Amino acid sequence: MDAPVKKNDIVEVEFVDLSHEGAGVARVEGYTLFVPYGIPGEKAKVKVLKTKKGFGFGKLLEVLDESEHRITPPCPIYDKCGGCQLQHLTYERQLVYKRKLVQDVLERIGHLKDVTVHPTLGMDDPWRYRNKAQVPIGEREGGLIAGFYQKGSHEIIDMDECLIQEEANDTVVQQVKKIALKYGIRAYDERSHRGTLRHVVAKYGRQTKDVMVVLVTKQKDLPNRKNIIKEISETVPGVKSIVQNINPKRTNVIFGNETRVLWGTPYIYDTIGDVKFAISARSFYQVNPEQTKVLYDKALAYAGLNGEETVIDAYCGIGTISLFLAQMAKKVYGVEIVPEAIEDAKRNAELNEMTNVDFEVGEAEKVIPAWYDKGIKADVMVVDPPRKGCDEALLQTIIDMKPKRVVYVSCNPATLARDLKVLEEGGFMTKEVQPVDMFPHTTHCEAVAKIVLNSNDAEI
């Protein structure tokens, strides 16, 4: 419909919903306006910023009738940063919002009306949960700054602490900033492609308290290298590993291809439950290990293993779920597209002395049908795809293979709903869905679904 409002109009609205990006949704004569920081139930004065055919965007000028769920965001730079979207909402309400998000798409996209969606499992203390910081470095007035790119731009805003980040990671960034300045290290400048230090990456093992410091530089040569290493190793508590990654390219991608250990070990370690993981500078590891345990426990419960099953873990990454499941299964096969992740997965299997797991590099939608042709058939299939969801060919293989149960771990409720519909049409039934809050204060929503084969409903 044509917009009943135009740019720069100031209108009074009432918010009726939250969008999947966390913005307040208002209707003006049936026309939808998305307004960041609006909360359902609130009346507000809004300035129209942009109008399109079916919907537009506005800016919150003044809340006229405040929601009981509104709080003052604890972070002083919340509105500039863009890393969090929901800090103005009580945590309790954020969990309600994420459950509703899942319910809505299951109904709208999946046409699944009667599926139980449990209340979101949240954190007791939803702050300081991230175990990895990736911070761009810049310069201002002769000093070094480290922080984040301002929302919608590439201007770096200096920041000393991030409230969703482990304090150990904040300490790394503050120390590196000081030490690099002392030894005259210049920040890399995107525009001129000059300077040295591009990013500081800090990783932290929540259980082990190990710290890794990664300096991403444009060139291999790091002036005053010895002194810098010495000071980092002496002043960063818990540091076990200092690594340099070299990225000579003009690119937004953080890491380059070359990595070298400057001091200490090439890995740090962490554990999830009883499983130990080695974390290297570039390997993927879940950023909220506390909630990862909650998620995996749920996945394990949904898998319903008794030690006799063959399990396939599609999109296995570094084998986190595979190894978790291998504790309870006869055999686990993991498949993942990134070769380095599979190397990590194999190493992690060795580290835990697990011999009942096999990992293969490749596309899940090609490797799993090939396994099926060779006679490998899963009793339980676990999938944890990226945001775009499962490939159709993989869903078809699952339908043909008929595992007793499918456990679907999803970071995007919309594609989860789409894929559940396909599985339902192929003879499966979605039993229940559990949202787990892996990323408090952001709109990211993780959920795990239990799906069973219709014919053996009785024995579940």
Dihedral over Cα of 296, 301, 302, 306: its sign: positive
Measured torsion, CA atoms of residues 321, 324, 327, 329, in degrees rounded to the nearest 10: -30
Q: What would the DSSP string read from start to end of 382-415? A: EE---TT---HHHHHHHHHH--SEEEEEES-HHH
Residue 299 tokens read as: 């996945």
Q: Phi and psi of 71, rounded to 5°?
A: -130, 165
Answer for the pair 234, 217: CB distance below 8 angstroms, yes or no. no
C-beta of 196 vs 286, nearer to ligand SAH = 286
Q: Is 87 annotated as a binding residue?
A: no
Order the strands of the 197-204 sheet from edge to edge: 156-158, 143-149, 132-140, 197-204, 211-217, 239-246, 258-264
CB 322 to ligand SAH: min, Å: 8
Q: Is 269 annotated as a binding residue?
A: no
Q: How far apart are CA 156 and CA 384, in angstroms?
A: 33
Binding site for ligand SAH (CB under 6 A): 284, 286, 315-317, 320-321, 335-338, 341, 363-365, 384-386, 391
CB 390 to ligand SAH: min, Å: 9
C-beta of 90 vs 134, nearer to ligand SAH = 134
CB 343 to ligand SAH: min, Å: 13
CB 391 to ligand SAH: min, Å: 6
C-beta of 379 vs 391, nearer to ligand SAH = 391
CB 37 to ligand SAH: min, Å: 30
> Per the residue annotation, which of 81, 84, 390, 411 is the catalytic one?
411
By beta carbon distance, the residue nearest ligand SAH is 317
Measured torsion, CA atoms of residues 389, 394, 400, 401, in degrees rounded to the nearest 10: -100
Residue 183 tokens read as: 């030894």
Residue partners of 410: CB distance under 8 A and separation at least 6: 384, 385, 389, 416, 446, 447, 448, 449
Q: Which of 61, 50, 59 is nearest to 3 (CA)?
A: 50
Q: Is 103 annotated as a binding residue?
A: no
C-beta of 156 vs 272, nearer to ligand SAH = 272
C-beta of 338 vs 376, nearer to ligand SAH = 338
CB 130 to ligand SAH: min, Å: 15
C-beta of 243 vs 312, nearer to ligand SAH = 312
Q: How far apart are CA 438 and CA 284, in angstroms?
A: 15
Q: Phi and psi of 330, rounded to 5°?
A: -75, -45
CA 241 to chain centre: 24
Instruction: Sort strands 24-28 and 31-35 into parallel, antiparallel or unpaired.
Output: antiparallel
- Concerning whether 445 is annotated as a catalytic residue, the answer is no
Residue 352 tokens read as: 């835990």
Strand partners, 407: 382, 450
Q: Is 336 annotated as a binding residue?
A: yes
CB 285 to ligand SAH: min, Å: 7
Answer for the pair 36, 22: CB distance below 8 angstroms, yes or no. yes
C-beta of 341 vs 449, nearer to ligand SAH = 341
Answer for the pair 34, 50: CB distance below 8 angstroms, yes or no. no
**Residues with catalytic roles:** 411
Which residues carry a binding-site annotation?
286, 315, 336, 384
Which residues carry a binding-site annotation for S-adenosyl-L-methionine?
286, 315, 336, 384
